[in-house]
Amino acid sequence: MSNELLKSDVTAEALIAKAQRDGVETMWDRKAAQKTQCGFGEAGVCCRICAMGPCRVSPVPGKGAERGICGANAGTIVARNFVRMIAGGASAHSDHARDIVHAMHLASAEGPFKIRDEAKMRRIAAEWGIEAADTKETYALAHELAEMALEEFGKPFGTQRFLTRAPQQRQDIWKRERMEPRAIDQEITTIMHSTHIGCASDIDSLLNRGMRASLGDGWGGSMIGTEFSDILYGTPKACASESNLGVIDAEMVNIVLHGHDPNLAEVVVVASKNPELLELAKSLGAKGINVVGMCCTGNEVTMRHGIKIAGNFYQQELAIITGAIEAVIVDVQCIFPALPALAKKYHTHFVSTSQKAKIAGDMYIEFSESDALNCAYGIVKTAVENFANRDASKVEIPNFKEPTIAGYSVETIIDHLDKVVNSQLEDKLGTVKPLSDVIYAGVIRGAAGVVGCNNPKTEHDLGHVTVIKELIKRDVIVVVTGCAAQAAAKVGLLTLEAKELCGRGLKEVCERVNIPPVLHMGSCVDCSRILDLVSRVAVEKGVDICDLPVVGSAPEWMSEKAVSIASYVVASGINTYLGIIPQVLGSVEFTELLNEGVRANVGAVYVFEKDPLVAVEKMMVDIEEKRTALGI
C-alpha cells in the first residue's frame, strides 16, 4: 500500500493491492512521488502571471522577498490566484450549461433531444417574461427560451435573470456591493483582465470581482445547467439505485460514464438499450450491457434513470483496475489524464468525446449533438465488441455496494412535503413551508449542504461521511451533491434506514415525510438546487439567507469549480466550511478577509477546518447562534 490514508477503505485496499500486482500506478503513487509539495504554491504566493516572473514571495512577513518584480505583494498574488480559480470553476460549470442549452435549441418532437418537463419550461418562460408562455407551441417556446438562455452568457446589458429568485434582502446586498453578475462570460473575462499584470492589486476589490463571477456561476451558469437539463431530460424524482464498485457486473459488458455533461450520457443510456447492441453483447457471451456512473455524469443519470453509481472521483482508476470495464466514456471535467495509459494495461477502451477534453492517448470519438444517437450507438458498439478482449484472469470486482435513493430535486422535496400536509394542515401545497416550519419549531435544528470532491490530501470519503453522520445525529438535515453525495451513498446514508442514525427530531421528520435524512440533490451544477431550496425557505419566512440556520460544507474539495461554489455559497449568505485549506495562507490579510472581513459585505464567511469533527462542532455553534438571533 502506497499510502497510509487508505487504511479504512476496504474497497480501495483490495484494488490498490491488485494495482501493485498488476504493475500499474494510481494517484496515490503519484502523490507519493511528489514528495513534499511546493510550499510556495501551497501558500499561494507563487506568481507566473507575466514573463518577468515567475516570482515567489515569502509567505512569512519579514523573511525573504516581500514583492514580486512588478511590486505585487503576498496579498495581491494570493488574491489573484484565488479569483483565477473562481474564474476557472465558473467557466467549467457555465460552459457545461451552455452545451445543455444548445442541445435544447436542437430539441424537436422527433428527438433525440425532446422537451420532457414542459411544465417547468413554461414556468421558467413565464418567470423570464416570455409572452404567452402558457400557450405557445412547445418547440417554438423551447427554441425561444433557449435563445434567451444563451444570451445570459454574453448579453451586453443587464444582470442574470435568476437573481430575482433570491430574497429581496439578498438582492439588495448584491446591489449595494456591486456584486450582481452581468453576462456570465463577461464576469469570467473581467477576472482574467483584472488579474492581468498591472491591473487590480487591491485584495478587497479582487475578491469582490471573484464573488461576482461566482454568483454568475451559482445563480447563472449552474442554475441554467440544472433547470435546462431538467426541461430536456426530466426533473429528477426519488429513485432507487445502488452504489460502489460492486455494481460492476462480471457477466455483463460494463460501460463507465464519467465526467459531468448529461448530453452524451443520456443518449448512451438510450443506446445501451438498443436491441441490436444487446444481441451483439449476448453473441459475445455477455448477459447484457451494464452502464454505470462515475462523478457527476453518474449523478445526472442516477438522478433521472436510477443508473448505478460505480464510485466517485477517487475511484476512477480503481474501476479500470477491476479488469471488467469494456469502456470508460468521458465527457468533460475531473477526468485524470492518467486514465488512457491505465486503460491500455487492461483491455479497457478509454473513449473521450469532447474537443474541450481531448485527452492524450485516448480513443477519440467526437460527440456531436446534431448526430447524437448515431454517435452514442457507435461508442456503445465499440464497448460491446471489446467484451471479446476481456481477460478473465485479470477480473477482480470488490463485492461492495449499498442501496441508494437519489433524485431529490426541489420539486420532488416539495412533492414529498405535500403528501404529508395534504390531509391534515392548512399549509399551502407546493411550498417549502412544512420544511421551514419544522426548522423553526426546532424539530430539525438546521440544514447543511455537504458537497465537493475527493482529495488525496485527506482520507477519501472520511470527511464527507463523518460530517454527514455527525450532523444528522444532531438533527441537522443534510443535502448532498457531487462526489460527497456518492460518498454518502456508498455507506448507505442515502436510504430510509439511515434515519436510525439521526437524532429524534430528524428521525421523526424522515418517517413522516418518507425521505432519507441525507438527500441526493444531484451533480455539482445542482448546488444551484440548494440555492433555490434555501431561498424558498428564506422568502417563505421573510428573512435573508444569512439569517437561516444553514451551513455549507466541502470536506474534501479539490477543484477550481469547488472554489467557485464555495464563493457563491458565501456570497449568497451561507457560512461555508472547507476541510481542505485553499492556497491562500501566504497572505495573512487575504486569509483574514476570507475568514472574517467579507462578513461585513455579504453576511457570511469561509471557515477553514481540517478536522471533520471539529468542523461539525463549529457548524453547530453557527446553527444555534442563527437560531438564537431569529428567536427560534
Pseudo-torsion of CA 373, 375, 379, 381, nearest 10°? 60
What are the distances in angstroms from CA 537 to CA 409, 437, 533? 15, 9, 6
Q: Is 295 annotated as a binding residue?
A: no
Residue 50 makes contact with ligand SF4 by CB under 6 A: yes
Give the three-state DSSP class for 137: coil
Query: Residue 34 CB: number of other CB atoms within 10 A?
Result: 9
Q: Which is nearer to ligand SF4, 77 or 125 (CB)?
A: 77
Residue 270 makes contact with ligand SF4 by CB under 6 A: no
Q: Which is nearer to ligand SF4, 81 or 159 (CB)?
A: 81
Tell me which of Fe ion, ligand SF4, none is bound by residue 55, counting a contact when its beta carbon lies within the kind-specific cut-off of 5 to 8 angstroms.
ligand SF4
Backbone angles phi, psi at 437, to 5 degrees: -65, -45
Give the three-state DSSP class for 238: coil
Give me the amino acid identity at 170: R
Q: Is 527 annotated as a binding residue?
A: no
Q: Which is nearer to ligand SF4, 107 or 200 (CB)?
A: 200
# of chain residues touching Fe ion (CB under 5 A): 3
Choosing from 43, 45, 47, 74, the residue that interacts with ligand SF4 (CB under 6 A) is 47
**x-or-dash pattern for ligand SF4, window 154-193, by CB under 6 A?**
----------------------------------------
Q: Is 199 annotated as a binding residue?
A: no
**Which alpha helices (H) appear in 34-162, and where do they start and end?**
39-43, 74-105, 118-127, 138-154
- The alpha carbon dihedral of 510, 472, 501, 401 has a sign of positive
List the Cα angle 560/565/568 in 5-degree steps: 125
**CB of 476: closest distance to Fe ion in angstroms?**
23
Q: Which is nearer to Fe ion, 73 or 226 (CB)?
A: 226
Contacting range for ligand SF4; rule: CB under 6 A; set: 44-52, 129-137, 378-386, 398-406: 44-52
Rounded distance, CA 3 to CA 449, Å? Answer: 30
Q: Quick one: residue 354, left, alpha or beta (phi over 0 = left, psi -120 to 50 = alpha)? A: beta
Residue 48 makes contact with ligand SF4 by CB under 6 A: yes
Residue 524 makes contact with Fe ion by CB under 5 A: yes
Q: Which is nearer to ligand SF4, 77 or 494 (CB)?
A: 77
Cell of 511: 418517517
Q: Which is nearer to ligand SF4, 72 or 87 (CB)?
A: 72
* Binding residues among 59-78 for ligand SF4 as defined by CB under 6 A: 68-70, 72, 77
DSSP sequence for 501-530: GS-HHHHHHHHHHT--SEEEEESGGGHHHH
319 with 257: CB under 8 angstroms?
no
Choosing from 27, 55, 268, 375, the residue that interacts with ligand SF4 (CB under 6 A) is 55
Choosing from 2, 5, 13, 53, the residue that interacts with ligand SF4 (CB under 6 A) is 53
Which residues make up the interface to ligand SF4 (CB under 6 A)? 47-50, 52-55, 68-70, 72, 77, 197
Residues annotated as binding site for [Ni-4Fe-4S] cluster?
Answer: 260, 296, 334, 453, 483, 524
Residues annotated as binding site for [4Fe-4S] cluster?
Answer: 38, 46-47, 50, 55, 70
Which residues make up the interface to Fe ion (CB under 5 A)? 296, 482, 524
